[in-house]
Structure 1
Amino acid sequence: MSDLSGSQVHIVQGFKPDYDAFVAQGFAASTAPEGQYDLGIVCVPRAKREARALIADAASRCARVIVDGQKTDGIDSLLKDVRKLVDVTKLISKAHGKAFAFAGGDFADWTDPGALGSVEGFETRLGVFSADRIDKASAALVAALPAKLPAKLADFGAGWGYLSRHILSCDGVKRLTLVEAEATALDCARANIDDPRAVFTWADVTSFTAKPGFDGIIMNPPFHTTRAADPGLGQAFIASAARCLAPHGQLWMVANRHLPYEATLAEHFGAVEELEGTPAFKILLASKPLRVGKRSS
C-alpha cells in the first residue's frame, strides 16, 4: 500500500458497517462528498446507472479520477463508455478486475437524477434495493401481517420504507423504529414516511441493540453480500431480532423458500410457525425469543 502520510484521505461511504470500519481505522468519513479533491477513487457498484453517477460526480469535483472494478460488475463496459468522453491516461488489468485513470471530461448526461419516478407513491434513488418496483417478498409479507400489531415495533432492513408505511397503517402501532444500513435508502424512507411515530436509525442490524426490547420486529432480510446468495446474512438478522425483542415479543419475516432459516429460528426462538405465503416466499412467525445459552423447557 502506498504511503499516505501527509495526505488527507476522505472516505465517502453510505453503508454503515463499512463506514464504521473506516472510522475505526482513523479515516475521516461521511455519507456524501464534500467540496473538491485532488484525486477521487470510484469503486464500481453493480448497478450501471449508479456507477455512472459516481463517476460523473467524481469528475466534477476531482482533478484526477481512478475507477476500479470487477468484470462481473461491468468495468469493461464503463471503460468503453468513459473512453467516448475523455482520454484514459492509464489502464491496469489484473485477475478479474481493471482500474483506469482520467482527468476532466463532460459527464453531464451521467449525473445522478436524484429522486426517481415514484413507485406506487414512494420515492427511490439510484443504488437502493428494488428502486424501480415493489419487492415481491415484501408485498407477500404485507399480505400476511395481521390488521392489528403490537405497540412498539421495528422494521429491520427497512429500505426505502415500503413495509414501514404499511406497518404504520395498522391498528395498535405507537412507535416504529426503522433500522437500515444504507444511508441513501434511509433518506428515501424519511421522504416517504411523514409520521411522528416513525424513528429513523442508520445502523447495522446485525450489531444493533435495543433496551428495552421491541414488542415486535418485522423484516425482509437481505441475503446477498455479493452476487451469490448468503444465508448467513439473514441468519444474523434472526439472531439480532431475538436479541432485540422483549420476552413477549414476536418476529414476522419473509424469505425465499430455498433459504434455510428454520434451524436458526429454532435456535433463537421457542416457537416458530409458517403462515400462509406464496409459491415463491414463506412467511415465518417466531415468538418466545431465547437468550444466549438458554432454551425453553
Structure 2
Amino acid sequence: MLSAPSQLLERNIDLFDEDGWLVINPADAYFTDRLSNLAIDVLHQYFDIYAESVRVIPCTILDSRDILDTQTGIFSEQKVGKHQHFFAPFLTTSRRYRNIVIYLPKAKAHYAMLITMAAALVQKGGCVYVVGENKGGIKSASKLLASIGEVDKVDSARHCSLLKCEVTQSHPDFDIKQFLRYFDININDQEATIASLPGVFSHEELDDGTQLLLEKLPSSLRGSVLDFACGAGIIGCLLKKQLPHLDISYLDVSALALYSTAQTLTENGLTGTLMAANGLHGVDERFNYIVTNPPFHTGIKTDYTVTKRFIADAARLLPPGGDLHMVANRFLPYPGLLGEVFERVQTLAQTTRFTVYQAVKS
C-alpha cells in the first residue's frame, strides 16, 4: 500500500519524466514501482523497506571494520529492473543527479544531514524535493531547505506537502564525520565513549531506560548475546567491556545505527558482528541471551502485533535456559505478552517510567 507521502508523489507523477533521479528513504516499497520505466537510484537508510524493495534479502551480516572502511557508505546494493537500490547510512559518489526527492524523516537533525547530502549529490541547476506529512513537520521544513536554494511549494494533499528547491550553486562533498557526535558514559564503574548519528535513538545522550537496563543486567552472562535494536551500540559495548568473554552481535534496522555502532566499537577498541534485519525476520543464529531496549513501546498506539512477533522470534532464537532481558515503558502490558511465550517472567527493576524484565525459556 502506498504511504500518504507516496500518494502525493503519485499525484505529481509527471515530475518524473526523465532518468537521473535519486529517491532517499521511501516510506514504502511501492512508489518506485510506478517509475519502472526510468533508470533511478534509491537510497535506503532502513533495511525493512530496502529488503521489501529488492525482495530477496531477509538479513545482512556485516563486520564493524568493513563498515568503517567503506568510502561510498554502501552496505548492500541490488539491481531491480532499471533501479539501483542501496542500503547505506550515506551515499558519496562522483555522480550528480538531475533531481533528488527526500522523504521527510522524524528528527530535524536527521533532515539537516539529508539536505546536506542531497546538496552534494545534485547537479548545479537541479532540484531537491522534500515530501512529508504535515504533522511530521513538513510545514517548517522549507526553512532548512532554503539553505541550499529557492523553495517553492508544489502541492498539498493526503495531509502531506511537496516542496521543491532549485539548487543553483555547487556544494562540497558530503562527509559523514561532520555529523558524528560523541559522549561518554559510566555504568557500574565501566566507562565507554559512544558515537551516534542523527536519526539514531537517543542521539547524543544515554536514554534513562537503557541506563536502568545496564545497571540491572547480571554479571553471570556467558556465551553469545544479541544486542537487539542496538542503536549506537551502547548495551553491547558496555557488556563487552565488562565481560570480555561474551560473543556479542549487534542488530538494527537502521544503517545509521549500524554505522554508529561500528564507530562506537572502534572508539572503545572493540570489533563485532553487525546485522541488518527487519525485527528478527531472517535471523537464524541462536543466542544464549537477547538484551534490548526495543523500539516499539513509544505510546498509546503501540502495535502489539509487532511486539508479539518479536517476543515469539526471540524465544525461537534462544536455547532452553536462554534469557531475554528488556526494558520498556512501565505502563505497557509486557508481563502478559511475555508470559504468553516464556515460561518464567520476572521484574528485575522498576522506576516511575520504566520496567526491566527477564524472561527465561525453559
Paired residue secondary structure (1:214): coil
Quick check: 1:118 aligned with 2:183? Answer: yes
Residues 81 and 162 of structure 1: is their aligned pair in 2 closer, same or farther, counting only changes over 3 Å?
closer
- 2:84 matches 1:28: yes
Tell me whether 21-30 or 4-13 shows the greater mean CA deviation: 21-30
Q: Check 1:72–1:47 CA distance in 2 against 1; reply closer, same or farther (3 A cut).
A: same
- Asked if residue 178 in structure 1 is aligned to residue 250 in structure 2, the reply is yes
2:322 aligned counterpart, secondary structure: strand
| C-alpha contact (below 8 Å) 1:161/1:188 kept by paired residues | yes
Q: CA separation in 2, counterparts of 1:45 and 1:87?
A: 21
1:9 to 40, 44, 47: 40
- Mapped contact 1:43–1:68 kept (Cα < 8 A): yes
Q: How far apart, CA to CA, are the structure 2 residues paired with 1:126 and 1:176?
A: 24
Report the Cα distance in structure 1 between the residues aligned to 2:297 and 2:330, rounded to whole angstroms.
15
Q: Is the 8 A contact 2:112 2:144 kept in 1?
A: no
1:140 corresponding residue in structure 2: 212
5+ residue gaps, structure 1, are 290-297
Q: Give the superposition deviation at 1:106.
A: 5.7
Give 2:273's aligned residue. Answer: 199
| Aligned partner letter, 1:247 | P
Structure 2 unmatched runs, 5+: 1-9, 14-33, 57-79, 186-192
Query: Contact (CA 8 Å) 1:124, 1:185: kept in 2 or not?
Result: yes
Partner Cα separation in structure 2 for residue 106 and residue 233 of structure 1: 45
In structure 1, distance between residues paired with 2:257 and 2:147: 32
Partners of 2:277 and 2:156 in 1: CA distance: 36
Distance in 2, Cα, partners of 1:257 & 1:225: 11
Which residue of 71, 75, 80 corresponds with 2:138?
75
Residue 290 (structure 2) pairs with residue 217 (structure 1): yes
Aligned to 1:278: 351
- Mark the CA change 1:81 to 1:192 in structure 2 (over 3 Å): closer, same or farther: closer
Determine helix, strand or coil for the equivalent of 1:12: strand
Task: Provide the alpha-carbon RMSD of the alignment.
Answer: 2.7
Cα 1:85/1:160, change in 2 over 3 Å: closer
Alpha-carbon distance, 1:85 to partner: 5.4
1:55 to 115, 134, 150: 115
Contact 1:115 1:123 survives alignment (8 Å): yes
* Shift in Å, 1:11: 1.0
How far apart are the structure 2 equivalents of 1:256 and 1:72? 24
Aligned to 1:100: 163
Q: Using the alignment, how far apart are the partners of 2:243 and 2:100 within structure 1?
A: 49
CA gap 1:115/1:206 in 2 versus in 1, 3 angstroms? same
From 253, 276, 282, the equivalent of 2:326 is: 253
Contact kept? 1:86, 1:103, Cα under 8 Å: yes
Q: Which residue of 1 aligns with 2:338?
A: 265
- TM, length-normalised to structure 1: 0.86
2:236 to 161, 164, 169: 164
State the Cα deviation string for residues 79-101 of structure 1 (Å, max 9, x = none).
24434653235521113210021
CA distance in 2, matches of 1:179, 1:228: 25
Query: What is the TM-score of this pair, normalised by structure 2?
Result: 0.72
- Whole-Å separation in 1 of the counterparts to 2:170 and 2:207: 31
Using the alignment, how far apart are the partners of 1:76 and 1:95 within structure 2? 14
Does the 8 Å contact 2:119/2:171 carry over to 1?
Answer: no
Which secondary structure state, in structure 2, belongs to the residue aligned with residue 186 of structure 1? Answer: helix
CA distance in 1, matches of 2:218, 2:144: 50
Greater relative CO (CA pairs within 8 A, separation 6+) = 2
Q: 2-side partners of 1:68 and 1:227: how far apart?
A: 26
CA deviation map 1:150-209 (0-9, x unaligned): 211111111111101121134474311111111111111111114667321122233142
